[in-house]
Structure 1
Amino acid sequence: MTALARIKIDSEIGAIIETILARTDVDAKIKEGFQEFLYYSNFRDWRNPD
């Protein structure tokens, strides 16, 4: 979860995602989707395409 260390999105959204990833009752596929979202949201090209 190295993407968590680089969260540049709104802090409230980041906190919600961290909570979801920390829960043990959330399906692994859902967690994987959130991890991918965090990974891609940290790239400038994805967030601010020119």
Structure 2
Amino acid sequence: MADMYPQGRYGEVDAVAAAAEFLLSDASSWITGQVLGVDGGLSSLRKS
């Protein structure tokens, strides 16, 4: 199943936590109205 992800592996809880930490930090203070996909590229694949 992991092969279906463009990165070839399953995601880890730490990846989601790192994204949340970034969004809660001052480093993201200029970001507005965006969708941050933390899915290993799965949402970019076309379904056939």
> Do they fold alike, i.e. is TM over 0.5?
no
Q: Given the two structures, how large is their TM-score scaled by the length of structure 2?
A: 0.39
Q: Comparing both structures, which one devotes a greater share of its residues to helix?
A: 1
Q: Given the two structures, how large is their TM-score scaled by the length of structure 1?
A: 0.38
Q: Pick the structure with greater CA Rg.
A: 2
